[in-house]
Chains A and B, each alone.
Chain A
């Protein structure tokens, strides 16, 4: 399959890339890892007059804790996240997530920023970033702005990014002591989108109670779903088996999936519940081990 013709630009600086975006706006697409964009162009589900390849611009990748936050460069490859000792030690939710995105070959190119900016509710990072209460940094012609993750996903394949902006960074608040997270994904086979998946991030207090909880679902509606009621219910409680079961029930009730070859609405909602319970149990275990 061959995409419809387009022009290709390989800017060497962010300023050059932004100027190209400002010039071509909706007729341009940013080429990061290209692992969602190129298949769409090849299948001709999408088209673009101009591809702006950001792969030759220095400084758009990296994983570091600085200024009270974990900063992940937008162009950081999934494979870098997957192999980062910092991510494994401090952000197990992200390590879990990176390891189940597409397959290892795709992850050598696919980027964290791309996984978010694509706006696909079937992608795995959106729910993980919601559970972690991340912020997205968008860079445009008038500088940068930060967008809370809850305000980032507007609809199917639609985000708060302006046509002139590039997603340059993701910021995640440093997890307080006693924090842990996990991502649980049900997929038919490696490389498939989630039938259902759940992200959980918890912080435990001195008495073992849940001080804070972030819970979000993948592929459970036109945008990634934050399980607000489940989070509220869990906060302040001892995470007993009964409390986890009720939290998971509330999360499952928040799922609004559509039926497809991966399952019926009822099945997917039930799997959202089951996976939330599993993710919570692992997140709590990891928080205790911290």
Chain B
């Protein structure tokens, strides 16, 4: 069995582990590091529940190997909150009721976070396009779009 020593910066902190070549990033996060906030949904690169940031880009962690993250930075949903304070994107989902069952939420939050990092004032269409790789079976997306808009407005106020 091919084992590899990897070092991954997770929410800014170096984590080291010895992993099998075939270990998926999502399993590394959930089972090796205990970060179960990242969900496994379809496991076939469709649903986006497992979305994390890899060097700042949202990707589906069920379709990345843990060894590929060696020497790189990963941010999961656990990394959004700072000092006990929710990130505006989390606050947006709270305020606008952007979830029902909550299963897709970690992925939606990471995709929304990445969108707002490169586009401070996205249109409704841009939001809908950005989350088109994240499936929600409860909300009908209306409140998710509102949640991202809420976060965008909040972030713009904070930045101003």
- Whether a CB of chain A sits under 8 angstroms from the CB of B36 is no
Which listed residue (B45, B46, B65, B130) contacts A8, Cβ 8 A? Answer: B65
Which listed residue (B21, B46, B63, B129) contacts A109, Cβ 8 A? Answer: B63
Minimum Cβ distance to chain A for residue B71 (Å): 8
CA distance A187 to B129 in the complex (A): 15
Q: Which bracket fits the contact residues of B?
A: 20 to 34
CA distance A104 to B128 in the complex (A): 11
- Whether a CB of chain B sits under 8 angstroms from the CB of A85 is no
Assuming the contacts A35-B63, A43-B44, A109-B63, asked whether A5 and B2 have C-beta atoms less than 8 A apart, the reply is: yes
User: Which residues on the A side are within 8 Å of B4 (C-beta)?
Assistant: 8
Minimum Cβ distance to chain B for residue A2 (Å): 6
User: Which residues on the B side are within 8 Å of A53 (C-beta)?
Assistant: 67-68
Minimum Cβ distance to chain A for residue B104 (Å): 13
CB of B63 within 8 A of CB of A104, answer: no
User: Which residues on the B side are within 8 Å of A102 (C-beta)?
Assistant: 45, 133
CB of B63 within 8 A of CB of A10, answer: no
As a 0/1 sequence over residues 195 to 206 of chain A, the CB contacts with chain B under 8 angstroms (1 = contact) are: 000000000000
Q: Which residue of B lies closest to A190 (CB)?
A: B132
- Whether a CB of chain A sits under 8 angstroms from the CB of B91 is no
CB of B63 within 8 A of CB of A39, answer: yes
Assuming the contacts A10-B70, A102-B133, A103-B132, asked whether A108 and B59 have C-beta atoms less than 8 A apart, the reply is: yes
Which listed residue (A2, A35, A43, A55) contacts B22, Cβ 8 A? Answer: A2
Assuming the contacts A3-B22, A6-B2, A42-B43, asked whether A105 and B64 have C-beta atoms less than 8 A apart, the reply is: no
CB of A6 within 8 A of CB of B44, answer: no
CB of B60 within 8 A of CB of A106, answer: yes
Which residues in chain A, 1-15, are within 8 Å of chain B measured between CB atoms? 1-8, 10
User: Which residues on the A side are within 8 Å of B65 (C-beta)?
Assistant: 8, 31, 34, 38, 51
Which residues in chain B, 5-54, are within 8 Å of chain A measured between CB atoms? 20-22, 24, 27, 43-46, 48, 51, 54
Minimum Cβ distance to chain A for residue B57 (Å): 4
CA distance A186 to B132 in the complex (A): 16
- Whether a CB of chain B sits under 8 angstroms from the CB of A191 is yes
- Whether a CB of chain A sits under 8 angstroms from the CB of B134 is yes
CA distance A39 to B42 in the complex (A): 11
CB of A104 within 8 A of CB of B64, answer: no
CA distance A38 to B22 in the complex (A): 10
Residues of A within 8 A of B (CB): 1-8, 10, 31, 34-35, 38-39, 41-43, 51, 53, 55, 79, 102-106, 108-109, 190-191
21 A-B Cβ contacts within 8 A?
Answer: A4-B22, A5-B2, A6-B2, A7-B2, A7-B21, A8-B2, A8-B65, A10-B67, A34-B68, A35-B63, A42-B24, A55-B68, A102-B133, A103-B133, A104-B111, A105-B58, A105-B133, A108-B54, A109-B59, A109-B63, A191-B46
Residues of B within 8 A of A (CB): 1-2, 4, 20-22, 24, 27, 43-46, 48, 51, 54, 57-60, 62-65, 67-68, 70, 111, 129-130, 132-134
Beyond contacts A1-B44, A5-B2: 13 other A-B pairs, Cβ-Cβ < 8 A, are: A6-B2, A7-B2, A7-B21, A8-B21, A38-B65, A42-B62, A103-B133, A105-B51, A105-B58, A106-B133, A109-B57, A109-B59, A109-B63
